[in-house]
Amino acid sequence: MKIDLSQVPEPIMETVRLFAEVEGVTLNTPEDYVRYLHEDEDALEIVLPYIDHDF
């Protein structure tokens, strides 16, 4: 699944970053965010309303 983060508002991205930080994961690049979203279902649910997806 390809995830386009360009439409995700900054406060939502910050929430995802905080989720990751609690788990000891550092997100620096868009690729880091995408990889994390593929691994964490709760974080993915937060961004789903903002991303273009096919499911």
41 inside domain: yes
For helices 30-39 and 10-22, the axis angle rounded to 10 degrees is: 60
18 inside domain: yes
Degrees to nearest 5, angle at CA 24 with 18 and 30: 60
44 inside domain: yes
The per-residue pLDDT for 20 is: 97
As for how many domains the chain has, the answer is 1
The per-residue pLDDT for 55 is: 47
55 inside domain: no
Tens digit of pLDDT at every position of the chain (55 positions): 678 899 999 999 999 999 999 999 999 999 999 999 999 999 999 999 998 765 4
Full residue range of the structural domain in which residue 28 is found = 5-50
**What are the angstrom distances between the C-alpha of 55 and each of 1, 3, 21, 37, 42?**
9, 12, 28, 15, 16
